[in-house]
Structure 1
Amino acid sequence: MAAGKEIRGKIKSVENTKKITKAMEMVAASKMRKAQERMRAARPYSDKIRNIAANLAQANPEYTHAFMESNDTKTTGFIVVTTDKGLCGGLNTNVLRAVTTKLKELQAAGDDAQAVAIGNKGLGFLNRVGAKVISHVTQLGDKPHLDKLIGPVKVLLDAYSEGKIKAVYLCYTKFVNTMRQEPVVDVEFARDQMPKIYDALKMEGSALTLEVQQQLGDGIVRTIALGTSDGLRRGNMVYNTGANITVPVGKATLGRIMDVLGAPIDERGPVSQELTASIHRKAPAYDELSPSQELLETGIKVIDLVCPFA
């Protein structure tokens, strides 16, 4: 009897814990939804202000802003953006992994690094790896205010203006959804050879394809990596194909499964490349459509569809 009573007590305890965790899950989902809405509402402004800054940078070639001038110092600055709390999947892990890779490259080259930490997780990580943190800000909450960020970031920008550091890297993660944080790659070209939006870029010595999403100005474009970005390093050579990504079309593609680049993934051999089209082409006009009545072959055999009745 005592054993049975103990088991019933444990079952009751587990049920109570389940109720508590369920309530916590609902609260977390509500907070997550509100944070996503605020983020999406702010994106148009951030994209527009970035485009304005890029246009101003190219408006007068004779004028160069202090933040666009380079120097020969051996110190690089980092602004590392993370959260204050954990349990958020790869949101912090991905950006801290990228920072680790860059710090190792600088150390191998004999360069130093200074960092500004935004968020508790980034601050703790930088302290553990022994990076020099010149300023930090934490406990920003769900609605961070600009006045809390200006001071810490200005310390690094002033150091750049004074010629104490040669470059500043902004390290962050682009949020797509709760399961995916999209890899973003910035590529630099000569100012007179800027690729167009949606142009496909190829990386030398790699099968990785990049697609141009934004022209940031000053010869830099922002791209999306259409594949794994493992092994991607600063300084890799990238060339512009001068065209959009094209994929096979026509009868050869019927029943086939392909990825966004048109490569077959159904293990049924290659797909004919005789007919191809851009993935960004416009839909056909109404007068170009030709409706027709055709039998649809489903492959389903119907036996004794009409049965005799006695």
Structure 2
Amino acid sequence: MASLIDIKQRITSTKKTSQITKAMQMVSASKLGKAESNARAYAPYVSKIHDVVTHIAATGNSSDHPMLVSRPVKRTGYIVITSDTGLAGSYNSSVIKEVFQEISTKHQSSEEYAIIAIGRNARDFFKTRQMNIVLEVQGISDHPAFAEIKDIASNAVQMFEDGVYDEVFIYYNHHINSISSELRREQLLPLTQFKDANAEAEKDLTVYEFEPSEQEILEVLLPQYVESLIFGALLDAKAAEHAARMTAMRSATDNAQDLIGDLSLQYNRARQAAITQEITEIVGGAAALE
């Protein structure tokens, strides 16, 4: 059995750990509220730009735009959103595992895919395995602004237009609520969903007037639309990250409290055993003197 001093030291260190995890839980809870607000506030913009693109695709001469046309797939691009830090449960591992399995299953060599890593965890995982990372970004703030990923988003779109890859998928954790999230895999390019733009546009009675021509607007709007999808996914993933870290730190705090209770019981039993032993020795010594 461990000594009383050892047990006491474990209780003290566990209490300190519990205080740290509790503080991290409260910080993550505070960040989660703002992250959820950011994601909700951005959703109307994505919805509106989607409506405008739908109307232009339905009424304009957009069938030959390279971002709307499917082509033979020689190389696939994967945008992977993870966090820079850990202590967030399975938040990072679930995304990384899904992408790794997808690449291992579909591709025979690194020439057949390209990875765009957003977050240090994804960068470190794929770089350690010498997988093909073409773009990376780290150090994104807890409440990111579009300027932080503008370059990587525009580069991702430009690389598709230049033929570096022929399709692009994005992987991230979608925030549902404070205790749950789900892995999302979405196709960003080509924008095949606008092939049925006529049927979708007929359901919307909004009338748009475009100046200059619809085709010129489409040339500018389509890249912005894809960039907005990437940024929206990042905001969503940040909310999921804060929720995952809050939940993980709550579980760590609860486990620490349970461990403190077990150690306290063990300490009291060891102390009682030591007192009993001392009393026995005293009684035995007194009896020997009689």
Query: How high is the TM-score relative to the length of structure 1?
Result: 0.52
Cα deviation for residue 176 of structure 1 reads: 0.6
1:158 paired residue number: 158
Unaligned runs of 5+ in 2: 201-290
In the alignment, the residues of structure 2 paired with residue 24 and residue 110 of structure 1 have an alpha-carbon distance, to the nearest angstrom, of: 39
State the SS of the aligned residue for 2:149: helix
Deviates most, 132-141 or 80-89: 80-89
Aligned identity (percent) is 26
2:64 paired residue number: 64
Q: Is the 8 A contact 2:79 2:170 kept in 1?
A: yes
1:200 paired residue number: none
Cα deviation for residue 33 of structure 1 reads: 2.5
In the alignment, the residues of structure 1 paired with residue 135 and residue 103 of structure 2 have an alpha-carbon distance, to the nearest angstrom, of: 18
Cα deviation for residue 53 of structure 1 reads: 2.8
In the alignment, the residues of structure 1 paired with residue 56 and residue 134 of structure 2 have an alpha-carbon distance, to the nearest angstrom, of: 30
In the alignment, the residues of structure 2 paired with residue 103 and residue 117 of structure 1 have an alpha-carbon distance, to the nearest angstrom, of: 14
Q: Is the 8 A contact 1:71 1:163 kept in 2?
A: no
Cα deviation for residue 122 of structure 1 reads: 1.6
Cα deviation for residue 78 of structure 1 reads: 1.6
Deviates most, 100-109 or 142-151: 100-109
Unaligned runs of 5+ in 1: 196-310
In the alignment, the residues of structure 1 paired with residue 183 and residue 119 of structure 2 have an alpha-carbon distance, to the nearest angstrom, of: 21
Q: Is the 8 A contact 1:117 1:137 kept in 2?
A: yes
Output the amino acid matched with 2:47: D
1:191 aligns with 2:196: yes
Deviates most, 22-31 or 54-63: 54-63
Cα deviation for residue 16 of structure 1 reads: 4.0
2:143 paired residue number: 143
CA RMSD of aligned residues (A): 3.5
Q: Is the 8 A contact 1:115 1:134 kept in 2?
A: yes
CA offset digits 1:59-102 (Å, max 9, x no partner): 32554322123333521112212211122233323322331232
Cα deviation for residue 140 of structure 1 reads: 0.7
Output the amino acid matched with 1:191: D
Shift of the 172–56 alpha-carbon distance from structure 1 to 2, 3 Å rule, reads farther
Q: Is the 8 A contact 2:159 2:165 kept in 1?
A: yes
Q: State the structure with bigger RCO (CA 8 A, min sep 6), 1 or 2.
A: 2
In the alignment, the residues of structure 2 paired with residue 192 and residue 57 of structure 1 have an alpha-carbon distance, to the nearest angstrom, of: 6
Alignment length (residue pairs): 196
In the alignment, the residues of structure 2 paired with residue 89 and residue 20 of structure 1 have an alpha-carbon distance, to the nearest angstrom, of: 16
Query: How high is the TM-score relative to the length of structure 2?
Result: 0.55
2:34 paired residue number: 34
State the SS of the aligned residue for 1:68: coil
In the alignment, the residues of structure 2 paired with residue 119 and residue 11 of structure 1 have an alpha-carbon distance, to the nearest angstrom, of: 36
Higher strand share: 1
State the SS of the aligned residue for 2:107: helix
2:83 paired residue number: 83
State the SS of the aligned residue for 1:176: strand
In the alignment, the residues of structure 2 paired with residue 133 and residue 110 of structure 1 have an alpha-carbon distance, to the nearest angstrom, of: 9
Q: Is the 8 A contact 2:119 2:140 kept in 1?
A: yes
1:268 paired residue number: none
Q: Is the 8 A contact 2:171 2:183 kept in 1?
A: no
2:215 paired residue number: none
